Amino acid sequence: MTTTEQITTCLSEPVHHIVCRLGLERVDHADLDHIVTVSGQICWEAITSNLRMSDTEEHDLDYAESVRLLGPVCKTVHSYLLSLSTKQFNDQYGVWFIWTNNTELFIEVFEAIKSSQHTTIALGLMKLTAYLERALGNVFLMIGKDCPFLLRDLLASRELATVFGQNAMNVLRVFLGSPQSLNIRNILWHGFAAPAEIPPMYTSMLLLLTAGLGQILPRDSMPLHRPYFRLTQLEELAVFPDINEEAIALAEDFIGKSDFVVEIMLPYWREAIAAYRNQRYVDCVILLLPQLETGLRKFFTIVNNCPNRLLTAESTTLYTTFDEMLAKYLENDNTNQLPTALGDPIMEILWDLLNHQEGPRIRDHLSHGELDLKIFPKEMASHVVALAIVLLHRCCRNGNEIAIESECLRAIVSSTNSYCSRFHPIGRLKQQLRHCVGSLQKWDEIPRPSIGQVSEGLRSEYLSPRVQAISGCLMEELVSYLMKQLQPVYNEELNTSQHLLAEEQLRLVTKLLSCSIRTLYCPRTVLEVVTLLRKVVLQCLTVFEQVTNGAVTRQQQWLSKSLRSRQRQNYLRMLGSIQYLHSTFSLITLLVTVELLNTWIISEIDSSECHNYLKFLKSLLQYAENMVTYTSPEKNKWDETWDLTEKMLLKVKEFYNRWKQ
């Protein structure tokens, strides 16, 4: 990966002008006494008087002129805050940050503005914008229902204008949330701004404005703070070896050699690695994620031959962000070449980390202030650092030579080769099916009374003849159909007779789930099928839980002799049903697995066949939902479960006999 021109900025000329120069044009200074009183109260009128409206039909803010006029105010505020000690700032303003539920973070940002390191100030500003957005969302929910996802929409909402006043919200809109404004949050979090490009005075101004918003809020009506998002997917996300000192040294070495790095962004990279080494894991990730986006954007513009997309876009054009870079097609409907250049495994790692709804979506959650920074996990930072090493290596001119010499690098790079998505709906279905197998394999451990503990009159319920009901021709036919469906997608030869027992079917499912299934850019019909299959499996898992929990509870009641006569009879009827339920649900688990492996075929069939197929899956879902009802503690309708199962198995046989042959 190479580029012919030295990159001096990732900001387009108009964006560079408004962010880096416009607010510094005026040489006059604002009077501090008009901005902040002796007691620390923010004089909003002195600030909002610098806003200007445009002459357009929309009569929106004139962002450029407002930035120019607010420049002297920002300079004065910055000088003022630099004159305060941390104790003075905390004593004066600490109470006014309580509404954010993050007072310590804003004190940390105050300390950052005194740093001589531009990366430290930029890091503080990224945290400030994220957790200011979170706090504003909490205020929105005091009177609104669905909090807007985009900061731009949140700042323009009627709800916040009602609480804080329209003028206060307009001031924030000059700094955040519109491509025509300073748009500080977006150009930082999307990796467009180099460390020294955003004047530190804007961090100071936003810090003071945040305290000012706290002064507007009535002390007796503080917002409720939404719980933070919890990163529970770490174990599933684990793919790379542990990041040790050798790996960190590798990353440091690659930073200076890899074309993946935009040179003006080098300070971010170095500070990110230093943060990891110093166990500041959340700082490492906040700094690295925008740089992964910048590096991928550079790679994206080269492989797609669109160098102009490296810069920030204007208000009329979308930024080139992760969403566009990971998409199948470009805005002009040409095929995106980045997936081919990176390969499916790395693309799937990126999708899992950033985009899939059930994944960690780490950049979204961090940039919107939805994570508790005090308990950020090392595992997530390790994952992001390892991914960075892979991408740095991919774009390093002598990367292969280094890989030959470094066992650590070989281990990190090779761990991506067989990666399959964990958080795509297909990956989630695989995980559900593994839970099915694990649950069904434990059914042998379900407690039950011995024959001697059951009276003669009740033994017929316990020794139900239905335990053998589906072990004959029907079972063999259904397994045979499933084996045939596996032939196009599974290389090993399968013998129907070897998979008639439930235990063998579950072992086969475990093997089949190790097969690779494409997840990138699934057609809509494939996703529809997978959604239905997931619903079927979810209902099955509920049945498993009800049966096992019910059996344990009833066994305890049986031993304590607290069951009435009808309850004892029903309990034994349940135990008499367990074997056929185990056989039935093992078969369903195998059926869902086979259909999952064949799921891409559905995109190739005609609409009428597709309709019939989806109708069949919906009938299977209806069966599973009915079984949830019948096996619930409230119903306990074990005779009905058999009647329902018999009809379902015949319907499955009819479907495969008619449609799949």
pLDDT over threshold 70, residue 630: yes
Distance of CA 398 to the CA centre of its chain: 34
pLDDT at residue 1 in the model = 56
Q: What is the DSSP letter of 564?
A: -
pLDDT at residue 187 in the model = 94
pLDDT at residue 106 in the model = 97
pLDDT over threshold 60, residue 315: no
Whole-number Å distance between alpha carbons of 172 and 195:
22
| pLDDT tens digits, 206-250 | 999 999 999 999 877 889 999 999 998 888 888 999 899 999 998
What is the 3-class SS of 406-443, one letter each residue?
A: CHHHHHHHHCCCCCCCCCCHHHHHHHHHHHHHHHHHCH
At residue 317's C-alpha, the angle toward residues 313 and 321, to 5°, is 60
| pLDDT tens digits, 71-117 | 999 999 999 999 999 999 999 999 999 999 999 999 999 999 999 99
Residues 6+ apart with CB under 8 A from 402: 250, 253, 254, 393, 396, 409
pLDDT at residue 314 in the model = 55
Cβ–Cβ under 8 Å, residues 30 and 74: no
Whole-number Å distance between alpha carbons of 647 and 613:
18
Whole-model pTM?
A: 0.91
The H helix count followed by the E strand count for the chain is 31, 0
| pLDDT tens digits, 414-452 | 999 889 999 999 999 999 999 999 999 999 888 876 765
Q: Angle 407-414/378-394 helices, nearest 10 degrees?
A: 100
473 or 42: which carries more pLDDT confidence? 42
Q: Which of 185-189, 469-473, 615-619 shows the lowest mean pLDDT across its residues?
A: 469-473
C-alpha to C-alpha distances, 504 to 210, 432, 487, nearest whole angstrom: 63, 19, 18
When pLDDT is averaged across residues 365-381 and rounded to a whole number, the result is 96
Q: What is the DSSP letter of 312?
A: P
When pLDDT is averaged across residues 305-326 and rounded to a whole number, the result is 75
Both tokens assigned to 155: 């700042």
Indicate the pLDDT class of residue 572, thresholds 50, 70 and 90.
Answer: confident
Handedness of CA 381, 385, 390, 394 (dihedral sign): positive
Distance of CA 585 to the CA centre of its chain: 31
Nearest to 209 by CA among 267, 261, 168: 168
Measure CA of the first residue to CA of the last residue in the chain; give whole Å. 50
pLDDT over threshold 60, residue 163: yes
When pLDDT is averaged across residues 606-611 and rounded to a whole number, the result is 87
Q: Which of 222-236, 379-393, 460-474 shows the lowest mean pLDDT across its residues?
A: 460-474
pLDDT over threshold 60, residue 575: yes
Cβ burial of 297 (10 Å; 0-12, 13-18, 19+) is: buried
pLDDT at residue 380 in the model = 96
pLDDT at residue 444 in the model = 87
pLDDT at residue 425 in the model = 97
Residue with tokens 């002195």: 46
Most confidently predicted of 315-324, 409-418, 433-442: 433-442
Nearest to 247 by CA among 395, 417, 387, 389: 389
pLDDT at residue 2 in the model = 52
Percent of the chain whose pLDDT exceeds 70: 93
Residues 6+ apart with CB under 8 A from 615: none
pLDDT at residue 118 in the model = 96
| pLDDT tens digits, 240-282 | 998 999 999 989 989 988 999 999 999 999 999 999 999 999 9
Whole-number Å distance between alpha carbons of 244 and 403:
16
When pLDDT is averaged across residues 128-150 and rounded to a whole number, the result is 95
Whole-number Å distance between alpha carbons of 526 and 245:
44
Indicate the pLDDT class of residue 313, thresholds 50, 70 and 90.
Answer: low
Please, what is the average pLDDT of the chain?
90
pLDDT over threshold 80, residue 587: yes
Indicate the pLDDT class of residue 467, thresholds 50, 70 and 90.
Answer: very low
Indicate the pLDDT class of residue 37, thresholds 50, 70 and 90.
Answer: very high
| pLDDT tens digits, 633-650 | 888 888 888 889 989 999
Q: Which residues on neighbouring strands pair with residue 335, listed in sequence order?
A: 329
C-alpha to C-alpha distances, 637 to 467, 643, 659, nearest whole angstrom: 16, 10, 32
Indicate the pLDDT class of residue 4, thresholds 50, 70 and 90.
Answer: very low
Strand ranges inside 531-615, DSSP E: none
Whole-number Å distance between alpha carbons of 114 and 84:
10
Q: Which of 55-59, 169-173, 317-321, 645-649 shows the lowest mean pLDDT across its residues?
A: 317-321
pLDDT at residue 457 in the model = 52
